[in-house]
Amino acid sequence: MAKGPGPAGHHPSGHPGAGGGAMPASTAQAPGFPEGFLDDFLPRSLAKGHVLSTPSHPLNQVFIVRSGRLKVYLANDTREISLAILEAGDLFSTHTPTYVRTLEATELWVIDIGQFARKLAAQPAVSPLMMRVLGRILSNAIILVEDLAFRDVPARLARFLIRQAEQRGVTEAEGCLLPLNLGTEDIACLLGTTRQSVSSLINQWQREGLLTRRGRHSLLIHDAQALVARSLTSN
């Protein structure tokens, strides 16, 4: 979602958690950022599970993901809901009322938000890029609202799977193999539902022959059409 620059070709369909064509960290800095733009950014390495921002203690920073993965989420006493999973090349600002936590060892480029603003002013060419990035994040938040307000759980899950398939699916003999690096619980968080609901839905669809579990962290989708059908608002 907060996909860095790149082939900004297709419409903002991305559901949270989509990293798109993983681009090498080395080139992640190139597109859009003028040479030397990253110079004032502070490199920072974080261990897995590190929480680097909370709604109550926001750090006013902007960061770019160099490697690793982070989860942007909201939390309750009893539940979490993910807004996005950031990957290499993604950009995010911590001055939103969210939690941000590393899912694995992660390297960032960090900069103070005020300083970032000054850099922007000095480098006008970067502004349109920022507009696009923020706009995309906003679009995704809006899509999430739409999901929560209008769609039932099966529709949300189906749509999620379709998106994943479009973005990282690998076509195969039996269908489309998609390697989610997420557990059932993680998917539930992304969709704003519970582990149990996701689990039983996937198994039900498995029995109906729509898809097959392939090991712990990947699915083989046989009938994408049927998924599309289920992704349309049911009642």
Partner DNA sequence: CGGGAATTGTCGGCTGGCTGACGGACAGGG
Partner DNA sequence: CCCTGTCCGTCAGCCAGCCGACAATTCCCG
- The residues of the shown chain that bind DNA, judged by CB under 7 A, are 78-79, 152-154, 183-185, 192-197, 199-200, 202-204, 213, 215-216, 235
Asked if 219 and 213 count as a contact pair (C-beta separation under 8 A), the reply is yes
What's the rounded Cα separation, in Å, for the pair 225 and 231? 10
Asked if 33 and 61 count as a contact pair (C-beta separation under 8 A), the reply is no
Our CB check for a copy of itself shows the closer of 29 and 93 to be 93
**Among residues 81, 110, 201, 226, the one that binds a copy of itself under rule CB under 8 A:** 81
- Among candidate residues 188, 180, 189, 192, the one with its CA nearest the CA of residue 147: 192
- Which amino acid would we find at residue 86? L
Number of shown-chain residues binding a copy of itself (CB under 8 A)? 42
Q: Provide, rounded to whole angstroms, the least separation between the CB of residue 146 and DNA.
A: 14
Contacts of residue 56, defined as CB under 8 A and 6 or more positions apart, other chains included, come to none
Q: Which two tokens stand for residue 43?
A: 């490199």
Task: Identify any residues that bridge with 176 across adjacent strands, giving them in sequence order.
Answer: 171, 221
What's the rounded Cα separation, in Å, for the pair 202 and 192? 16
**Among residues 137, 158, 190, 198, the one that binds a copy of itself under rule CB under 8 A:** 137
Interaction between residue 5 and a copy of itself (CB under 8 A): no
Q: Provide, rounded to whole angstroms, the least separation between the CB of residue 209 and a copy of itself.
A: 30
Q: Reduce the DSSP state of residue 55 to 3 states and report it.
A: coil
Q: Provide, rounded to whole angstroms, the least separation between the CB of residue 45 and DNA.
A: 20
Positive or negative, the Cα torsion across 186, 10, 110, 60? negative
Q: Provide, rounded to whole angstroms, the least separation between the CB of residue 79 and DNA.
A: 6
**Among residues 47, 148, 170, 229, the one that binds a copy of itself under rule CB under 8 A:** 148
Q: Reduce the DSSP state of residue 70 to 3 states and report it.
A: strand
**Among residues 43, 150, 171, 204, the one that binds a copy of itself under rule CB under 8 A:** 150
Q: Binding to a copy of itself (CB under 8 A): which residues in 86-105?
A: 93, 95-98
Interaction site with a copy of itself (CB under 8 A) = 12, 17, 74, 76-79, 81, 83, 93, 95-98, 117, 120-125, 127-128, 130-131, 134-135, 137-139, 141-146, 148-150, 192, 233-234
